[in-house]
């Protein structure tokens, strides 16, 4: 008798039979998604509403078991899901929605990884400056065995060089996933503005922005959720690890482009230079806020090699991809535009990144947590 190997992969064509079933107008599926206790993972669960929600507030506050998401103990496990951003659902289509949620504890205090709670308050304080952000999200495609997609199983591909923005089956791997994700983001209403193959084979990047204020974090987390969901359909694993393969391979970052309205007008370069001076004085604090493990993840990536600056030193320069802060060549020539912070890791929380940039450059205030001395914990209310 021969044994049958059962795989976790299913036949997606069979599912289409059910996805084409008619859906009643008084039954709308809404998928709630949120950030779990790791600060990196995304969780979700769905429910039926009787009417189509037009804004996040139309979705009721819900709850979940925090003891299964690294967010509470089993003896007091209920956590609240508070809807904050609504998107169209590219998987279920129709009037169905996706809703991003903040997480609150049983006593309505923000969960430890709910960095949106303070970020939105900071963005409200400085909204008159019209801060714009754009984040370049790098990530890697992995097989189920944890090895990069398309890499030879008993060795390595050829050295880096032909893969960045590459074309051809011997230069890029997984383009179907990238294209599907791009289209899903556009359908959902995520402000995705581009994508490209990156320097390491099986590594890709998409860009979200420009987004104003809190919208940056909301749209990047929605894009990440969609990326993981799309990859499910292809049986591929997404990793946001900033250095998934050790050795002479590029790591993955989340380069963050930033400007205020004044920076985007003639003479704005001088204002950017003032902001860079402020950033230089808070380098260590920013490094701790730029990955979910207070710099430990980024220490594997920010080595001063592979188009990175050293994690130990702050630097800035025009068109310098080995600097902490890069001023694009065109910006230097025009005298206005935006700056690029190249330090955030690929697995950063965009709420933490954008909040600390605003605190340092506009508020000159950086309250630190008394227990960890980092800006990631909740400052006093």
Contact 252, 203 (CB under 8 A): yes
Rounded CA separation 281/270 (Å):
17
Q: In the structure, how many helices (H) and strands (E) does the chain have?
A: 8, 13
Name which of 164, 301, 157 is nearest 241 in CA terms. Answer: 301
- Residue 371: per-residue pLDDT: 41
How far is Cα of residue 79 from the mean position of the Cα atoms in its chain? 23
- Residue 378: per-residue pLDDT: 44
Q: What is the pLDDT of residues 273-287, one digit of tens each?
A: 999 999 999 999 999
What domains can you pick out in the chain, each with its CATH number?
Answer: 25-112 (3.10.20.70), 123-363 (3.30.590.10)
Say if residue 325's pLDDT is above 80. Answer: yes
Pairing of strands 28-35, 97-104: parallel
Helices marked H in the chain: 12-19, 116-125, 175-188, 215-234, 268-280, 283-289, 329-334, 350-358
- Residue 169: per-residue pLDDT: 95
- Residue 367: per-residue pLDDT: 54
Mean residue pLDDT across the chain: 93
Say if residue 4's pLDDT is above 70. Answer: no
Q: What is the pLDDT of residues 188-222, one digit of tens each?
A: 999 999 999 999 999 999 999 999 999 999 999 99
Name which of 212, 191, 322, 329 is nearest 259 in CA terms. Answer: 212
Say if residue 145's pLDDT is above 90. Answer: no
Q: What is the pLDDT of residues 9-36, one digit of tens each?
A: 788 889 889 999 999 989 999 999 999 9
Rounded CA separation 221/14 (Å):
30
Kind and range of the H or E run holding 103: strand 97-104
Q: What is the pLDDT of residues 309-321, one digit of tens each?
A: 999 999 999 999 9
Share of the chain above pLDDT 70, in %: 93
Q: Indicate the angle between helix axes 175-188 and 215-234, nearest 10 degrees.
A: 140
Q: What is the pLDDT of residues 226-246, one digit of tens each?
A: 999 999 999 999 999 999 999
Say if residue 267's pLDDT is above 60. Answer: yes
Contact 79, 62 (CB under 8 A): no
User: Which residues have C-beta within 8 Å of that of residue 89, sequence separation ≥ 6?
Assistant: 29, 31, 96, 97, 98, 188
Q: 109: which DSSP letter?
A: P
Rounded CA separation 287/1 (Å):
58
Q: What is the pLDDT of residues 334-378, one digit of tens each?
A: 999 999 999 999 999 999 999 999 999 999 865 544 343 344 444
């Amino acid at each position: 008798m021969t044994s049958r190997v059962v795989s976790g992969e299913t036949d997606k064509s069979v599912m289409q039979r059910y996805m084409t079933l008619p859906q009643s107008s008084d039954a709308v599926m809404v998928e709630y998604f949120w950030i779990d206790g790791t600060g990196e993972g995304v969780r979700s669960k769905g429910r039926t509403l009787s009417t189509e929600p037009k804004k996040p507030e139309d979705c009721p506050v819900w709850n979940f078991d925090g003891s299964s998401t690294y967010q509470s103990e089993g003896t007091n496990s209920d956590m609240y899901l508070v809807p904050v951003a609504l998107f169209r659902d590219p998987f279920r289509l129709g009037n169905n929605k996706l809703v991003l949620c903040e997480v609150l504890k049983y006593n309505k205090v923000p969960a430890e990884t709910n960095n949106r709670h303070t970020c939105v308050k900071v963005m409200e304080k400085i909204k008159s400056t019209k801060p714009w952000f754009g984040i370049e999200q790098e990530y890697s495609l992995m097989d189920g065995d944890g090895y990069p997609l398309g890499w030879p199983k008993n060795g390595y591909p050829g050295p880096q060089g032909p893969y960045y923005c590459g074309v051809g089956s011997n230069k890029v791997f997984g383009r179907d996933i990238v294209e599907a994700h791009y289209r899903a983001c556009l359908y959902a209403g995520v402000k995705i503005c581009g994508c490209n193959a990156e320097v390491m084979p099986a590594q890709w990047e998409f860009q979200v922005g420009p987004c104003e204020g809190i919208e940056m974090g909301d749209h990047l987390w929605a894009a990440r959720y969609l990326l993981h969901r799309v990859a499910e359909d292809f049986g591929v694993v997404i990793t946001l690890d900033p250095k998934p393969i050790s050795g002479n391979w590029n790591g993955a970052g989340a380069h963050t482009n930033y400007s205020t309205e004044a920076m985007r007008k003639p003479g704005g370069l001088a204002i950017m230079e003032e902001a860079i001076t402020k950033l230089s004085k808070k380098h260590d604090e920013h490094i701790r806020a730029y990955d979910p493990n207070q710099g430990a993840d980024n220490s594997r990536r920010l080595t001063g090699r592979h188009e990175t600056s050293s994690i130990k030193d702050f630097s800035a320069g025009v068109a310098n991809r080995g600097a902490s802060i890069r001023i694009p060549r065109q910006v230097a020539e025009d005298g206005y535009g935006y700056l690029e912070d190249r330090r955030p890791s690929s697995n950063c929380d965009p709420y933490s990144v954008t909040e600390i940039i605003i605190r340092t450059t506009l508020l000159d205030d950086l309250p630190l947590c008394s227990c960890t001395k980092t800006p990631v914990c909740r400052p006093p209310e």
